[in-house]
Amino acid sequence: MTQVVLIDWGGGNIGSVRYALERLGVSAVLSADADTITAAQRVILPGVGAAPPAMARLRELGLVEPIRRLRQPLLGICLGMQLLYESSEEGDVECLGLLPGRIVRMTSAPGVRVPHMGWNQLQPSQSTDLLDGIDAGARAYFVHGYAAPLSADTLASSDHGTAFTAVAGRGNCFGAQFHPERSAAVGQRLLANFLAMEAA
């Protein structure tokens, strides 16, 4: 069985992500230990909250450099995905730098409320094993006020006033802005695809 470690930095959705993995037959290990994380076959960085305290906690735990050195598949979820980028406008904080770019605040407009909360469509833009079986227009559940702009690393986009990166990937590093653990069959499929991926 694939050994999966959930990085236990205090991200609010860690329990629900763990339960979603259990539904796939995977018993994930919760850990903030660098050696345990480094030895895992798959690593997931969950997160709900704000980027500055999240990065401060990862630094306090001594996990920033170990995460940066990972070579096995790594999946960031929601805030966890945002932390994979170089920086965030939220508190003007330096992040992990595994994906190039800066997280920006979403812009409200008539009929467009921020934070973005609820179901929205995914539009795959690149062929990737991570999105195998997830069709254009599939719906996923989002809760966020900041987002990654579209880039060469965008695997799928969504639109909330303007298009943003819903799924990102580069090398062994992947991110889902939506919550797979709350996105029914679409979320389960993405997690199953991640678990089945070969190391880069």
Residue 144 designated active-site: no
* Cβ contacts of 147-151, under 8 Å, gap ≥ 24: 147/82, 147/103, 147/104, 147/106, 147/116, 147/177, 148/81, 148/82, 148/85, 148/99, 148/101, 148/103, 148/104, 148/175, 148/177, 149/101, 149/102, 149/104, 151/100, 151/101
Pick the catalytic residue from 90, 116, 179, 198. 179
Do 40 and 4 meet the contact criterion of CB atoms below 8 Å apart?
yes
Q: Is 181 a catalytic residue?
A: yes
Q: Tokens 């980028």 identify what position?
A: 85
Half-sphere exposure of 97 (CA within 13 A, CB side): 7
Determine which one of 65, 173, 181, 198 is catalytic.
Answer: 181
Q: Which of 78, 90, 144, 173 is catalytic?
A: 78
Q: Cβ neighbours of residue 86 under 8 Å, at least 6 residues apart?
A: 94, 95, 97, 99, 100, 101, 102
| 78 belongs to the catalytic site | yes
Just list the catalytic residues: 78, 179, 181
